C-alpha cells in the first residue's frame, strides 16, 4: 500500500499513536514478547499517512511506525470550510468507513481510529460512520483509502470534459 508520490522531506509531520498491541510468539524456550504500534502522521494541511511498526520495545515500534507512515503519505482533497469535497465510502478488508461532507462549525464527528486520521489530515468538519469490522488497523486503512479516492470539482470537470459550473449545478 505504498503511494510514495509526495515528498515529505520538507514537511513538518505530527504523529498520533492509534494503538499499541503486545504480541506473543510461543517458541521452544518459552514466549517471545514483541509490540506492534499503529501510527498516523500528518501535517494538518491535507497530507496524512498511516504505518505499522513492530519491535521488541514500545518506543522502537512507535519510531518504526512513524517511518512507515511517512512512506505512505497521501494528499486529501478538501473544500474551503475544511471539509471533504463529497461523500464517500472507504473500504479495506471487512472494514467500511462512510465519510460525509459537513458544513462549517460541525467539527469532526468520528470514532477513535477515524478521528485520528481526520485530525492529522487537517479536516475540520466531517461526519463519519465506521461499519463492518472494528479492527483498528483495517478501519484506519479504510479511512485513508476513502480519503485517497476523493476528487475536487476541478478534477472531475477535467475528467468529464466539462466546466466546474456544469459539475456543481
pTM score, two decimals? 0.89
Q: What is the dihedral of CA 63, 147, 75, 18, to 10 degrees?
A: -10
- Residue 130 CA to residue 157 CA, distance in Å, equals 30
Averaged pLDDT, groups of 10, the chain, 169 residues long: 61 91 93 96 93 96 95 91 91 95 92 93 94 94 94 89 84
Residues 6+ apart with CB under 8 A from 2: 71, 72
The x, y and z cell numbers of residue 168, run together, are: 456543481
Query: In Å, how far are 42, 120, 124 from 135, measured between CA atoms?
Result: 21, 20, 25
How confident is the model at residue 164, as a pLDDT?
Answer: 84
Kindly report the backbone phi and psi dihedral angles of residue 161, in degrees, each rounded to the nearest multiple of 5, phi listed first. 70, 35
Locate the domains of the chain by residue range: 14-74, 77-160
- CATH class given for the domain over 77-160: alpha beta
Q: Are 74 and 67 in contact (CB under 8 A)?
A: no
In the block, cell 518459552 appears at: 30
Helices 112-121 and 136-148, axial angle in degrees (round to 10): 40
Q: Which of 15, 10, 1, 122 is nearest to 64 (CA)?
A: 15
Q: Which CATH architecture has domain 14-74?
A: 2-Layer Sandwich (3.30)
The 10 Å Cβ neighbour count of residue 53 is 23
Amino acid at each position: 500500500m505504498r503511494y510514495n508520490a509526495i515528498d515529505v522531506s520538507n514537511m513538518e509531520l505530527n504523529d498520533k499513536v492509534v494503538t499499541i498491541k503486545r504480541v506473543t510468539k510461543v517458541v521452544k524456550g518459552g514466549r517471545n514478547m514483541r509490540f506492534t504500534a499503529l501510527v498516523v502522521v500528518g501535517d494538518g494541511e491535507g497530507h496524512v499517512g498511516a504505518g505499522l511498526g513492530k519491535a521488541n520495545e514500545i518506543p522502537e515500534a512507535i519510531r518504526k511506525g512513524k517511518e512507515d507512515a511517512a512512506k505512505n503519505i497521501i494528499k486529501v482533497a478538501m473544500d474551503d470550510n475544511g471539509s471533504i469535497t463529497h461523500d464517500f465510502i472507504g473500504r479495506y478488508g471487512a472494514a467500511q468507513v462512510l465519510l460525509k461532507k459537513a458544513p462549517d462549525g460541525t467539527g469532526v464527528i468520528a470514532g477513535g481510529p477515524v478521528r485520528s486520521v481526520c485530525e492529522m489530515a487537517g479536516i475540520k468538519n466531517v461526519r463519519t460512520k465506521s461499519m463492518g469490522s472494528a479492527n483498528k488497523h483495517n478501519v484506519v486503512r479504510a479511512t485513508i483509502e476513502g480519503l485517497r479516492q476523493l476528487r475536487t470539482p476541478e478534477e472531475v470537470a477535467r475528467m468529464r470534459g466539462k466546466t466546474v459550473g456544469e459539475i456543481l449545478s
